[in-house]
Every structure is written in C-alpha cells, then in structure tokens.
Structure 1
C-alpha cells in the first residue's frame, strides 16, 4: 500500500524527502470566508464535535470543523466512537512540523475499513494546533490518518484537508516522542493514543 504522506514546498528546511501532487492545489474548492476557532466559539461546540484524545502526556481536546470538512469530521466521529484510535501510535513525528497518527499498523500505510474520502480542501490556515488529514498521492485518498501541527505550516494550505484544531493540550502534543528527520520522522517505539472519544460519548 502507498504510504500516507504530508508534502511540502519547504522540504529542505525539514531535511525530509516529501513529495507533493502537482494537481492538488488546482482541485481545491474553498469557501469564501473561514474563521479559526476561538475560545468563546470552542465553548459553544456541540459535544459531538469535541474530540478527547488522551496521550501518555495528558489530554488533548480537539474541536472538529464540520463547517470546513463535513465528510472528514464525520469520519473522525465514527472512528473515535468505535474506539478505532485507541492504542494507535504516533508513527511519524517531525519536530517543528507535525505529529501523525491514525494508522493501526504503525507503518504509515494502514487505514480503516471505510472507503477513502473526497478532498475537502479549504483556505483555512495550517498553524500551530491545526489538525489535518494525511493522504497519499491522490487528493481523494484520506481515510483515518491525521496529524497535528506543532507550528505554522502554510505550505500545506489548500492541499490538505483541515478537520479541526486543538482547543487545549498542546503542551501534551509537544511532548510526543519525535522521530528522526533523516528517517522522514518515523518513530521507534512510538507514543500511542491511550484513548480517543467524542465528548458526547462521555469521558
């Protein structure tokens, strides 16, 4: 199977061999106006749009963005409620860039048993705390893998689907065991998601 990747125009600065489908940006379809979540908005989120992701370093609370990516948000809801993400590793972690998870095999090639999703690209910014869906070369290949940005990543904008953002717990994300840039961020003996559920499922 193809490895799900994050691609970048700034690959040199990350010392990683990323690739980017040339057609990705041309296939984006962005709503006219998109606003990031703020604390006041986050407090009013429907509990089914609040993800509670427990790591070995603490809880990360994520607000989903069905306004930007309804199909992707529904996928995260479905898999989280199933317990799909429990004990799944953060298999690819690049300091200063992102932490990627969602593959039960830990190889970067795995996914759920559900069909791949059509791209829901937008003009929403990739910044510290943004949660996006990983994919393979095709824009329409996202399935279960996602990543959390450690820092701003504008080179991803319009080419990967934004599915949410961290409301609280970035300090836990920062502590996730990192991989080697020379090894494309692959992590040996990686940290794993302890438990991931929706707030509507109960704590």
Structure 2
C-alpha cells in the first residue's frame, strides 16, 4: 500500500507529530558541505522556475544519502519537470514535488526511511516533506524562507539553497496558490 501525504506539513508540526522525534541525538555535521561533497557537481540540484529564476541547491549525501539519491533518481527521470509548488506559506516555507499538486502524492518509488540529522532548518534549507510517519518521505520537499529550529531533528534535511534564494522568495504564495509557480526543469550538475 502506498502512503500519501494526506496531512499537510503544518499539521505535522503539531504535538503528536513532534512526539515521534528520534530519541538519539544525531552526530554533528558541518553546516556547509564538506569540500569533497561541494566539489562533486552531481551534488548540485538546479531548479528552473516558471517565474523566470533559477535556484541551485547543494545536496548533502553526507547527511542524508537515501534522500539525496531519491532526488537524483527522480530528477534524472524528469519527474519534477512541470510540477508546482502547491503549498507556500510566507514567513515559513515553499513545498513542492507532488505530482498531484495537492500534497497527497508521491513518486511510484517506495517511501524513503527518515535520515534525521543535525543540520538545522535555516533560511534556504531543503528538507523532505512527509506524512505523520517518519519513514513516509517520497518525492515532496520544502524550502525554508526563515529559520525554524522547532523542525530540527524531525525532518530529513538533505540540502541548502546556494544560489537563487531571491527567486525562492518570489514563489507564488497560497495553499494552493491561485497562480502557482512551477518547476520548469530540474537538473543535476553545474
């Protein structure tokens, strides 16, 4: 049975979902990608937006190898091309990656196990969206507009915007937006 994202991300931030946080503290990771990770251009995820901007995300396979591999696999398949940002809350985050465009969909691939780590939810952080179960992430992701430390250790952080955050700020707001911003094309490399 395929799990869906029936619960919106904001609902997941309620007390019951927060109670599912891991008991162990993850090992500390550097906020910036290690030199070898940053030098590998396959760890750069480029998202061209319908609003005209381009966003580059530094992927962190050292922090969340399964989540990064899922993003890479789906990107190579062209999965994200044409998808919209279906849930954009100013002062919080922009969520996309759902083929249904309503927060309930995912890819045909199995869900990914949680990879909670010590990377903080800062402005530009990119994390895996999920349903109530920690192991229910699939294709959806969110980009933080502002820091939100209450999410730290409860969602899988797998990257951070290194270029084009000004374009992330311009993603059309709404739940769903009246005229949503779409991912025209997502690619890996340079």
Q: What is the alpha-carbon distance in structure 1 between the residues aligned to residue 53 and residue 158 of structure 2?
A: 21
1:24 alignment partner, SS class: coil
Paired residues of 1:29 and 1:121 also in contact (CA < 8 A): no
In structure 1, the residue matched to 2:187 is: 197
2:9 alignment partner, SS class: coil
Paired residues of 2:119 and 2:157 also in contact (CA < 8 A): yes
Distance 1:106 1:129, change over 3 A: same
Distance 1:22 1:36, change over 3 A: closer
Shift of 1:8: 7.2
In structure 2, the residue matched to 1:116 is: 111
Shift of 1:81: 0.9
1:81 aligns with 2:76: yes
Shift of 1:186: 2.6
Q: What is the alpha-carbon distance in structure 2 between the residues aligned to residue 136 and residue 19 of structure 1?
A: 14
Q: 5+ residue gaps in structure 1?
A: 12-17, 180-184
In structure 1, the residue matched to 2:177 is: 187
Q: What is the alpha-carbon distance in structure 2 between the residues aligned to residue 76 and residue 28 of structure 1?
A: 26
In structure 1, the residue matched to 2:45 is: 51
RMSD of aligned Cα (Å):
2.3
In structure 1, the residue matched to 2:21 is: 25
2:57 alignment partner, SS class: strand
1:95 aligns with 2:83: no
Q: What is the alpha-carbon distance in structure 1 between the residues aligned to residue 66 and residue 23 of structure 2?
A: 17
Shift of 1:4: 4.8
Q: 5+ residue gaps in structure 2?
A: none
In structure 2, the residue matched to 1:182 is: none
Q: What is the alpha-carbon distance in structure 2 between the residues aligned to residue 79 and residue 63 of structure 1?
A: 16
Q: What is the alpha-carbon distance in structure 2 between the residues aligned to residue 43 and residue 171 of structure 1?
A: 24
Q: Deviations over 1:28-60 (max 9, x none)?
A: 6512x211127x949943111100100123100
Distance 1:48 1:20, change over 3 A: farther
Paired positions, count? 186
